[in-house]
Amino acid sequence: CFRYFPLPIVLDILSSSHYIDVTLPSGSLSSFLLTMRFHLIFLFIPYLVLSLPIRTTSKRNNERKLPEAIIIGVKKAGTRALLEFLRLNPHIKAPGPEVHFFDKNFEKGLDWYRSQMPESGDGDVTIEKSPSYFISKTAPSRIKEINPNMKLIVVLRDPVTRAISDYTQASSKRRLGQMPSFERMAVGDCAPWSKVNCSVKIRGVNSGWGAVRIGQYHKYLQRWLKEFPLAQFHFVDGQKLIDEPAEEVKKVEEFLGLKPVVSPADFELDSVKKFPCIKNPDETHHCLGKTKGRPHPKVDEPVLKRLKRFYEPENDRLFALIHQKFQWN
């Protein structure tokens, strides 16, 4: 009752002297019924009719909508940081966990996908992030089928740093001592248990090893560009997201058609990890969890150089494809 009828009106009906009249002697009954009828005809019914549009609008305001934009990747490039920073904008609604609808949960259906989204109102933009979509063979066409106008956000980072980050995450999941060194995986003979064929190298690098392979961004992007025009993509520089988070977030807010509200005042550098954290209004900080911003192993200089040389032509192909250049060196 209180959801639909403002409190003052309900109180007026309940506490009016006519309601109290119920306790009066039966002689007052006819006057009581008369007044109740007055309330019903002149207050309640017009109120119900007039408030109908308001009530239906407020229902519409709390729908779960399918996303209009997706952060499709790239894994270990800063996708979590981007999502958390975007959520500073009250018009951006996003589920916390990765949904993985278009690659792992597709058979659960669209209603399930919608149910994973938070409620949103008019003027809000619903987004989700599942970084494995970027390398998925099925995600591009499935997304197009559901919304050919989907906005696609891709966080890109120097592929050498991204490969080291990927390796650091993989080795943190294995028991200590089980993972060969980064150098051995990237340019050596990998590991006996590894499924990667490390006897075939390209420009001296194990390009088939996942951590290296994903950094050949142009190869995966071509798949996406078969389904969506370049204008529907926005590329975030993962390094700038660390150095100048507000600047990078502002560009995404604009890409989503929103008035930018995130500003440099929203961030403060974590003095230990040296990554930006969100500054709350009460001066406390929200930094990303301990799986983000892990210390990286020190990699031999000649191996780093070989990887950089390996990625040079790969990066050039990417830059030509997206008509945009990143200063990653």
> What is the SS3 assignment for 264?
helix
Is residue 88 close enough to count as binding ligand A3P by CB under 6 A?
no
Is residue 159 close enough to count as binding ligand A3P by CB under 6 A?
no
First to last CA, the chain: 63
For residues 226 and 102, give the distance between their C-alpha atoms in angstroms, rounded to a whole number.
17
Q: Is 76 annotated as a binding residue?
A: yes
Distances (CA, A) of 259 to 82, 201, 253: 17, 48, 7
Is residue 288 close enough to count as binding ligand A3P by CB under 6 A?
yes
Is residue 86 close enough to count as binding ligand A3P by CB under 6 A?
no
For residues 155 and 65, give the distance between their C-alpha atoms in angstroms, rounded to a whole number.
24
Is residue 55 close enough to count as binding ligand A3P by CB under 6 A?
no
Is residue 76 close enough to count as binding ligand A3P by CB under 6 A?
yes
Catalytic residue among 75, 76, 93, 129: 76
Q: Is 320 annotated as a binding residue?
A: no
Beta strands in the chain (DSSP E): 63-64, 69-73, 92-93, 119-120, 125-129, 151-156, 233-237, 267-269, 276-279, 285-286
CB nearer to ligand A3P: give 266 or 314. 266
Q: Is 286 annotated as a binding residue?
A: no
For residues 283 and 118, give the distance between their C-alpha atoms in angstroms, rounded to a whole number.
27
Is residue 292 close enough to count as binding ligand A3P by CB under 6 A?
yes
CB of 75 to ligand A3P, least distance (A): 6
CB of 320 to ligand A3P, least distance (A): 25
What residues does 258 pair with on adjacent strands? Answer: none
Active site residue 76: yes
Block residue for tokens 């019903």: 40
Is residue 285 close enough to count as binding ligand A3P by CB under 6 A?
no
What residues does 92 pair with on adjacent strands? Answer: 125
77, 143, 252, 262: which one binds ligand A3P (CB under 6 A):
77
Residue positions annotated with a catalytic role: 76
Q: Which residues bind ligand A3P (CB under 6 A)?
A: 75-81, 131, 165, 168, 241-242, 275-276, 288, 292-294
* Residue list, annotated binding site for 3'-phosphoadenylyl sulfate: 76-80, 157, 165, 292-296
